């Protein structure tokens, strides 16, 4: 079974709401074995243009776990806050 990585690229629109979202999202990872790998800010682009200056990477034991987290009631409840707080592209990768 391969691991899964959820990569979020984002542009924050409302820093207070973003802080509210971030303060609640980590606890939603726990039941699915998710762990924060890193959060960061874009320094430069070596190739192409990335419109989002911020990134987050979350590791899960499997794609099924990543899908379960995203579909969970706990995470779904946070999506409206996320949508108000930032423009986000959320993608899952298997490794």
Q: In this predicted model, what pLDDT tens digit does every residue of 44-85 receive, in sequence order?
A: 989 999 899 999 999 999 999 999 999 999 999 999 999 999
Q: Looking at the domain covering 4-43+67-94, what would its CATH class be? A: alpha beta
Q: Which sequence spans correspond to the domains of the chain?
A: 4-43+67-94
Predicted local distance difference test score (pLDDT) of residue 58 = 98
Residue 1 binned pLDDT confidence (cut-offs 50, 70, 90) = low
pTM of the model: 0.93
Q: Name the strands in the sheet holding 54-60, side by side, starting at the edge strand that comes first in the sequence.
A: 35-41, 54-60, 4-12, 86-94
Distance CA 20, CA 8 (A): 17
């Amino acid at each position: 079974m391969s691991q899964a990585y959820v990569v979020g690229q984002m542009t924050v629109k409302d820093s207070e709401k973003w802080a509210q979202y971030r303060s609640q999202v980590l606890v939603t990872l726990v039941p699915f074995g998710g762990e924060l790998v890193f959060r960061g800010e874009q320094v430069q682009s070596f190739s192409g243009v990335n419109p989002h200056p911020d990134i987050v990477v979350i590791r899960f034991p499997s794609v099924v776990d990543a899908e379960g987290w995203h579909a969970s009631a706990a995470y779904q409840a946070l999506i409206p806050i996320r949508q108000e707080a930032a423009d986000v592209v959320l993608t899952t990768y298997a490794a």
